[in-house]
């Protein structure tokens, strides 16, 4: 197609578009199983081994790749309810576009292996805005949303924040052994952490993003704020918009994430010392 239409540039994604979507999720390691075969070439040779018998040789060159269905099913593990032509993943995809672009640029050329040319397409569209490339890229996560898109993102944020509020309650009210039990499920809250922080960062001026408190006690002191302010997101009205309030919530979520990571590391060290956990 390129020689016929030299002005056209294809943004390929190999093995399918869902792979580009998967790159938006930090919990996806970028690796897909090679569970599908494509015959690149096939050569048949014959050799007479008798007056009426012959031996046939089939020489095939096979490319190992990933079935489209495999890629689709893996995306559904990271974004429950996803279907083709669905906007189910839109909140995460929009906020993680720059992350996906960075990851895609580290991969193979999609013409020869698993990868995506979508970053080149996005950069081309950014240049068409007339803005400096870096500014146009940053506006991807701060762009004006339709009311439907904004409601979709807000709903995803509410559910994620509710999950983090439950975790904060466990961290601040239950004993150490119970904390360890909850920490065993820490992997389930990686996506809510990432989404909530990105959603809040898109609502807060960059100069007002708070730093993480410097010590454990200061971090723990911020955790009740997650549930306190989270209640204001539970209904259709009363959604906080004050950047200072959102910045404080961002700080509390970052503090909770730091404490969960600390417990994960602590439990890992304990398990190495005593595999029985006693």
Report pLDDT for 181.
47
Q: How far apart are CA 89 and CA 76, in angstroms?
A: 10
- Give 14: exposed, middle or buried? Use CB within 10 Å, 0-12, 13-18, 19+: buried
Report pLDDT for 61.
92
Report pLDDT for 272.
39
The contacts of residue 237 (CB under 8 Å, 6+ apart) are none
Extract the residue ranges of the chain whose pLDDT is less than 70: 1-7, 88, 141-144, 174-188, 206, 234-238, 267-278
Contact 44, 6 (CB under 8 A): no
Q: What is the pTM of this model?
A: 0.59
- Mind giving me the DSSP string for 76-87? HHHSTT--TT--
Instruction: Look at the alpha carbons of 131, 136, 138, 140 in this order and tell me if their dihedral is positive or negative.
Output: positive
Report pLDDT for 44.
92
Contact 240, 233 (CB under 8 A): yes
- Give 109: exposed, middle or buried? Use CB within 10 Å, 0-12, 13-18, 19+: exposed
Give the model confidence (pLDDT) of 70-96 as tens digits.
Answer: 988 888 888 777 888 777 677 778 778
Contact 188, 167 (CB under 8 A): no
């Amino acid at each position: 197609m390129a020689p016929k239409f030299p002005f056209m540039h294809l943004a390929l994604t190999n093995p399918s578009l869902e792979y580009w979507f998967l790159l938006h999720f930090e919990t996806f390691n970028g690796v897909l199983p090679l569970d599908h075969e494509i015959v690149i070439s096939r050569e048949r040779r014959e050799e007479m081994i008798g007056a009426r018998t012959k031996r046939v040789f089939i020489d095939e060159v096979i490319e190992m790749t990933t079935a489209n269905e495999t890629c689709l099913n893996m995306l559904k593990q990271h974004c429950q309810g996803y279907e083709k032509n669905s906007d189910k993943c839109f909140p995460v995809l929009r906020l993680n576009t720059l992350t996906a672009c960075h990851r895609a640029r580290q991969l193979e050329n999609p013409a020869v292996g698993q990868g995506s040319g979508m970053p080149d397409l996005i950069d081309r569209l950014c240049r068409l805005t007339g803005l400096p490339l870096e500014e146009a890229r940053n506006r991807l996560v701060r762009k004006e949303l339709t009311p439907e898109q904004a409601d979709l993102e807000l709903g995803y944020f509410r559910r994620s924040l509710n999950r983090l509020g439950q975790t904060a309650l466990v961290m601040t009210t239950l004993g150490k052994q119970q904390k360890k039990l909850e920490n065993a499920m820490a992997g389930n809250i990686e996506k809510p952490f990432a989404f909530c922080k990105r959603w809040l960062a898109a609502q807060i001026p960059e100069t007002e993003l708070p730093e993480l408190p410097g010590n454990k006690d200061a971090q723990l002191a911020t955790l009740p704020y997650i549930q306190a302010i989270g209640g204001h997101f539970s209904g259709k009205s009363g959604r906080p918009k004050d950047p200072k309030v959102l910045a404080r919530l961002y700080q509390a979520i970052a503090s909770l994430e730091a404490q969960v990571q600390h417990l994960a590391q602590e439990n890992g060290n304990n398990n190495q010392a005593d595999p029985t956990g006693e």
